[in-house]
Structure 1
Amino acid sequence: MKEITVGELLQLKNAIPIDVRSPVEFKEFCIPGAVNIPLFTDEERAVIGTIYKQEGSDAAKWKAMEVVSPKLPTLLGEIKEISANGMQPIIYCWRGGMRSKAVATFISFSGLSIPRLVGGYRAYRQYILEQIPAMLPEKAITLHGMTGVGKTDILKGLSDKGFPVIDLEALAGHRGSIFGTYGLFTGNNQKTFDALLFQSLMGMQESPYFLIEAESKRIGKVVIPEALLLKKQQGMNIQLQSSLQSRIERIYSDYVFPYLQEEWFHNKVIERLVYIKKRLKDYDLIFRLDEAVNQENYHLVIKILLEEYYDPRYAHKKMEYTEPFHFINNAEHIESTMNEIILLIEKNFLNRQI
């Protein structure tokens, strides 16, 4: 049985990790780019687990063989097809235990040479957590700006141009506010975030810098690694500024307009505002906010939230950064703002590689 380490897996250009865990395990977290070819369905895994607890290991193994045997031609056929298309399948499960060993053994009997990942997903996660701090480029370029100024759009534009960007909101599957999952899903968990961060860093190993948004330590369900937080706080700071009206329009376009006709939207706004109203403590302000929501005047809702909640909190967070700030006014013009940022990069990093 051929085995491969995590480091060797990551060096392969044509590797396709084959996750043989159940679909629910795969959905929770996996190696980026992996394909799920499960040995057991979710229901079968639950049954085998129950037998293991009630009757012991031998009975569970026998049941597993009964379940798997009829599936083997199909399962091995799917793996063989991936190999036939010029890719290199790598078998893994949670910790490189019985499931990946069983599949690798069956494959070897069929005449194929498909490696198995030593230690499984657990070894992969341990590896990337050890590597991430050392993989961070030397200098962070941190984009600051009040809510709605367009930081995410600018970072995406710079990434599209080939600049090294760590998009924390994209990695977290969350926009970084109480309304952060609108139009998305429930957000990524920590394991998925760390894996995607590692993948991003793999693509910027030759760069002396990276661009990042001035996010908080926690975004949705995930916590930013301490090493990345420290780089962000000690890096070069760029402050983006734009008018209140342009910020309102951008937030309306991102958070309101696409979902305005959805049945869930209005009630979801009311639900999320409960958290903010607990912190406002100004009854006149809460009354104005409730009135604007009841009238579905979302432009006014956004204006109140920016002026009375988000902007004051943002001013406080800027104090975490000690290095000087470079200011860019009229940041609502995305293309010209990107050009100004590129000029600052060229001034400070003459040997950049794009």
Structure 2
Amino acid sequence: MDQTFAQLERREDVLWIDVRSEGEYEESHIPGAVSIPLFDNEERAEIGTLYKQVGPERARERGLEIASQKLPELVRRIRGQAGDRIPAIYCWRGGMRSQSVATVLGLMAIPAVRLTGGYRAYRAHVTGQLASMRADKLPPLLVIHGMTGVGKSLLLQLLKRRGEPVLDLEDFAGHRGSVFGGIGLKTANQREFDGRLYEALRRLQDAPYLIIEAESKRIGHVNMPDFLYEAKLRGDNLLLFASLKTRVERTLLQYQLKDEAAFVGAVERAVARIERRFSPEFRARVNDALLARDWHSLIVALLTDYYDPRYEHAMKSYERPFHEVNGEDLEKAADEIVTHAHSAYAVTDAGQREWIGGRIN
């Protein structure tokens, strides 16, 4: 049975099965989808070459030759992954790959659905929905500000674990925002970011408020949608602060890699991208710390003389006042933010539990 993404996206009883190649899946996929490819990267390339150079009939024959050997194992994997859920099969545009798999599942009496139009239709749905969203239709935004290293991302993760309605844009982007932001992370492309953001907004649409970090318009390799950036500028501003000692410790904790050589290389490349903005004296200071592998001194220099002045300038674009929150103890900071949110938006404990229950169910 073929269904559109709009028909399937709210169903909790389906599991997305991506039968495209590993490379296609890695590039972008529906959030939560499991990769069970009908053809691997090399096989897909071979069939594509045959299609262009010989013709569609020979390409289909070769596809059948390859797929016929894989189908029993593929069916077992789908059955094992789906469990009690219904497999929702998709390929790039709802063509032969998903049709073949869905047909075999039907022959094996395994209930399944197929996504009409495949991943391409899903992508069109997401971009269309995001394009239609408006800042004034979102729940109120609580925007967490703070100098680099203060612990904004750690705080968001803590609030999310508590069940608070968090939009973690850096998590969606696979990037922490600065030139150093991709260290140790798998950076997302715009398609991945849009899919993750849309899924979160859909899931949190009835929340009493949303908590986000005060990100720039561009986060790593992706751009925040205009409606969300506009809503952020209108939001309720919370300014997290902590000592320089705490900020240095948290920065090193988040960025340092176990592989020292890889970490050094990543830091050197990042510094090279911004050092043209340094004064000669500051460049010498940074390079001395880098050569000595003195991470504490390097972080202090970059925070106090490079990132802090830029962050102070960026904060001037927000017109609403800032409510200060001590971030030395993030558990206490989370308590204060939740109390502030419930007070500002008249949320009772019972109402919060009702919202969380509705989201999960």
What is the TM-score with the length of structure 2 in the denominator? Answer: 0.90
Residues 1:336 and 1:112: Cα distance change in structure 2 (over 3 Å) = closer
Q: Secondary structure, in 3 states, of the residue corresponding to 1:212?
A: strand
2:124 alignment partner, one of 123, 126, 140: 126
Query: Once the two structures are superposed, what CA deviation does each residue of 1:251-289 show, in whole Å capped at 9, x if it has no partner?
Result: 122223x53x62222233222211121111x11111111
**Which residue number corresponds to residue 336 of structure 2?**
340
**Which residue number corresponds to residue 355 of structure 2?**
none
Residues 1:271 and 1:79: Cα distance change in structure 2 (over 3 Å) = closer
Q: Partner amino acid for 1:202?
A: R
How far did 1:241 drift? 2.0
Q: How does 1:182-331 map to 2 (within 5 A)?
A: 182-185=183-186, 187-256=187-256, 258-259=257-258, 262-280=260-278, 282-328=279-325, 330-331=326-327
**Which residue number corresponds to residue 29 of structure 1?**
28
How far did 1:97 drift? 1.6
In 1, are the aligned partners of 2:86 and 2:111 still within 8 Å (CA)?
Answer: no
Q: Secondary structure, in 3 states, of the residue corresponding to 1:16?
A: strand
Identical positions, percent: 42
Number of aligned residues: 347
Q: What CA RMSD, in Å, does the superposition of the two structures yield over aligned residues?
A: 1.9
How far did 1:151 drift? 0.9
In 2, are the aligned partners of 1:137 and 1:204 still within 8 Å (CA)?
Answer: no
Query: Once the two structures are superposed, what CA deviation does each residue of 1:297-322 show, in whole Å capped at 9, x if it has no partner?
Result: 21111111112210111112112222
Q: Partner amino acid for 1:68?
A: A
How far did 1:342 drift? 2.0
1:90 alignment partner, one of 70, 88, 91: 88
How far did 1:111 drift? 3.9
In 1, are the aligned partners of 2:87 and 2:111 still within 8 Å (CA)?
Answer: no
Q: Distance in 2 between matches of 1:99 and 1:290?
A: 53
Farther-moved stretch of structure 1 (123-132 vs 167-176) = 123-132
Farther-moved stretch of structure 1 (102-111 vs 116-125) = 102-111
Q: Secondary structure, in 3 states, of the residue corresponding to 1:148?
A: coil
Residues 1:268 and 1:205: Cα distance change in structure 2 (over 3 Å) = closer
Residues 1:19 and 1:253: Cα distance change in structure 2 (over 3 Å) = closer
**Which residue number corresponds to residue 140 of structure 2?**
139
How far did 1:224 drift? 0.9
In 2, are the aligned partners of 1:82 and 1:88 still within 8 Å (CA)?
Answer: no
**Which residue number corresponds to residue 12 of structure 1?**
11
Q: Partner amino acid for 1:277?
A: E
Q: Partner amino acid for 1:147?
A: T
Q: Distance in 2 between matches of 1:266 and 1:111?
A: 55
Q: Distance in 1 between matches of 2:81 and 2:270?
A: 45
How far did 1:87 drift? 1.3
How far did 1:350 drift? 0.7
In 1, are the aligned partners of 2:139 and 2:206 still within 8 Å (CA)?
Answer: no
Q: Which runs of 5+ in 2 are unaligned?
A: 353-361
In 2, are the aligned partners of 1:174 and 1:181 still within 8 Å (CA)?
Answer: yes
Q: Secondary structure, in 3 states, of the residue corresponding to 1:123?
A: helix
Q: How does 1:135-174 map to 2 (within 5 A)?
A: 137-174=138-175
Q: Distance in 2 between matches of 1:69 and 1:108?
A: 16
Q: Distance in 1 between matches of 2:300 and 2:172?
A: 28
**Which residue number corresponds to residue 100 of structure 2?**
102
Q: Partner amino acid for 1:122?
A: R
Q: Distance in 1 between matches of 2:111 and 2:266?
A: 52
Q: Partner amino acid for 1:238?
A: L
How far did 1:72 drift? 2.3
Q: Distance in 2 between matches of 1:163 and 1:191?
A: 26
Query: Once the two structures are superposed, what CA deviation does each residue of 1:160-217 show, in whole Å capped at 9, x if it has no partner?
Result: 22111001111111111111122223x1111111121122223322213100000111
Q: Distance in 2 between matches of 1:77 and 1:342?
A: 46
Query: Once the two structures are superposed, what CA deviation does each residue of 1:11-62 show, in whole Å capped at 9, x if it has no partner?
Result: 2212111111111111111111212221111111111111111112122112
Q: Which runs of 5+ in 1 are unaligned?
A: none
How far did 1:351 drift? 2.9
Q: Secondary structure, in 3 states, of the residue corresponding to 2:89?
A: strand
Residues 1:112 and 1:294: Cα distance change in structure 2 (over 3 Å) = closer
In 2, are the aligned partners of 1:140 and 1:232 still within 8 Å (CA)?
Answer: yes
Farther-moved stretch of structure 1 (98-107 vs 45-54) = 98-107
What is the TM-score with the length of structure 1 in the denominator? Answer: 0.92
Q: Secondary structure, in 3 states, of the residue corresponding to 1:239?
A: strand
In 2, are the aligned partners of 1:137 and 1:208 still within 8 Å (CA)?
Answer: no
Q: Partner amino acid for 1:12?
A: R
Q: Distance in 1 between matches of 2:251 and 2:77?
A: 45
